[in-house]
Amino acid sequence: MSSPDSKAPDILSELNPGQRAAVTAPDGPVLVLAGAGALLGLVGAQVGVRVLLSLAPVSLPRAESIQLDGAVLAVVAGVSLLTGILFGLAPVLQLAADIQGGLRSGGASTTTNKGGRRLRASFAVAQMALALMLLVGGGLLIQSFVRLSNVDPGFDSENVVFASIILPPGYESREQQQAFFSSVLERVESSVPGLEAAGLATNPPMSGDSWRSRIGVDGFTPPSDFPMTMDYSHVSADYFKAIGMELVAGRGFTPRDRAGAGSVIVVNESFARQFWSDGNAIGGRLKMGRSANSPGPWYTVIGVVNDVKQHGLAETGIPETYLSFRQVPSDQMSVVVRSTAGFAAVAGALQRAVWDVDPNIPTDVNSMRGRIAGTIAAPRFYTLLLSSFAAVALILASVGIYGTMAYTVGERTQEMGVRIALGAATTSVLKLVVRQGMTLAVVGAGVGVAGAIGTTRLLESMLFGVEALDVTAFLSAVALLLGVALLACYLPARRATRIDPMNALRAE
């Protein structure tokens, strides 16, 4: 009996030229492919980073430092080299094991060992599972973002433009503040094209400002730890009309609500419900301070307006109050304008109205729709980011299962040729291949669902109006994944049905 070493030439003689080249120079073509893939990935990454940064919210920390630097390039080169070596050697080692197994069994052909099949199946299952987890997360964020975008802010933001103004030193007295903003408002009302309404407010919705005070409410005894506070804004008479709010009860401010007249206040519905059991706040009184015994005037409630989303679309009803600008001026206000003219024309008219009164006052002009869009910039960015990862994972998973099934069809060519030669219908061959591939997909989906149940809870703080275990998101992700997997399995299966039995048997 000859030694194993004496069979080495016989083993090489069993290989075709392509297999012999793979054994003698295993890593060359694989390293070229790995390098080409790395270069293509770097190009895609550079484009992706630029696109994502262009959509990133202003509040994203250290966004300017996100770039493809030398460290990233070194990691990519190392991973590509290691991947090329590992995945170049693995098929060679498997091929050698198959040939030796075939010679020992006396067979004339080689077949893939079970370990190799299990390894490929495991990779396909892992890809499907990870893809499903990302798809579920992306689906949850998409649902959340859509619902957040459709929230009613409580006011009509269409055609609303506002200019934020902070008075510099020289406007310390209330008389100076009131005179300046009253003059600006008069010029706005006479010069802005397409004007429907104009008003003043210290902190209009989505402005990012919040003014708060402790209060005492006449006849209300707070329970322990009850927050006796209110958020408030100084507004002019036509502000509610300009911003598009609704007067629910009572009246709004009028020119008669000025300094020296009785102190009045308008509250929102949440405030009325919080401090008056029947919600009827008209005629009620409150005082700004630590208690009803604090110094200062009593404010009488003259009107109730609807709740608005003051700081963001995701917030719940917050008690808000409104003071008359003519009674309590401020050195920081926004001129709010509702106009049918375009943004550029309105913004220019607003700036001219301010500079006509004082050319040294800077103004910051924004559209209300743009400001609302800015409040949801972060959710939009996170949704886009995770959805992009999910899309890439889905593509990789489909390519993985397609490659697995294509390789399976290739190695079972003779078997399928024999089946067809013995009279098996092409549909049965088709079902055989599809069933094998979909089994992997279903197992991967099951593992992915289990993983997503745990990982989606990490997204709870980023979701609005959607549960982390939302059934629709899970079912949609599973359906999409299995649909793509079915297509990826069908293409190799269709190729299997076209195998010529005679060519397959001749190769055998």
Domain spans, the chain: 1-111, 114-152+376-508, 168-360
3-state DSSP call for residue 326?
Answer: coil
Q: For position 164, what pLDDT does the model report?
A: 92
3-state DSSP call for residue 191?
Answer: helix
Task: Give the Cα separation of 42 and 48 in Å (integer).
Answer: 10
Task: Give the Cα separation of 423 and 125 in Å (integer).
Answer: 33
Quote the DSSP letter at residue 456: G
Rounded to the nearest 5 degrees, what angle is found at the Cα of 122, between the Cα atoms of 119 and 123?
90
- The residue-averaged pLDDT of 119-131 equals 86
Q: How far is CA 363 from the centre of its chain?
A: 32
Which residue did the predictor score with more confidence, 317 or 272? 272
Residue that the structure tokens 């997909």 belong to: 441
pLDDT in tens, 297-346: 899 999 999 999 988 888 887 889 999 999 988 899 999 999 999 999 99
Helix (H) or strand (E) holding 230: strand 229-235
For the cut 60, the answer to whether the pLDDT of residue 109 exceeds it is no
- The residue-averaged pLDDT of 269-293 equals 86
- The residue-averaged pLDDT of 37-65 equals 70
Percent of the chain scoring above 90 in pLDDT? 35
Short-list 459, 445, 462, 418, CA closest to 145: 462
pLDDT in tens, 352-408: 999 999 999 988 899 999 888 888 888 888 888 888 888 888 888 888 888 888 877
Residue that the structure tokens 């209330």 belong to: 174
- The residue-averaged pLDDT of 45-72 equals 69
Q: What is the pTM for the complete model shown?
A: 0.74
Rounded to the nearest 5 degrees, what angle is found at the Cα of 295, between the Cα atoms of 294 and 300?
85
For the cut 60, the answer to whether the pLDDT of residue 18 exceeds it is no
Short-list 284, 314, 329, CA closest to 147: 314
- The residue-averaged pLDDT of 481-494 equals 87
For the cut 50, the answer to whether the pLDDT of residue 462 exceeds it is yes
- The residue-averaged pLDDT of 17-38 equals 59
Q: Which residues 6+ apart lie within 8 Å of 490 measured at CB? A: 430, 434
305 phi/psi in degrees, rounded to 5: -115, 165
pLDDT in tens, 176-196: 999 999 999 999 999 999 999
Is residue 216 within 8 A of residue 290, CB to CB? The reply is: yes
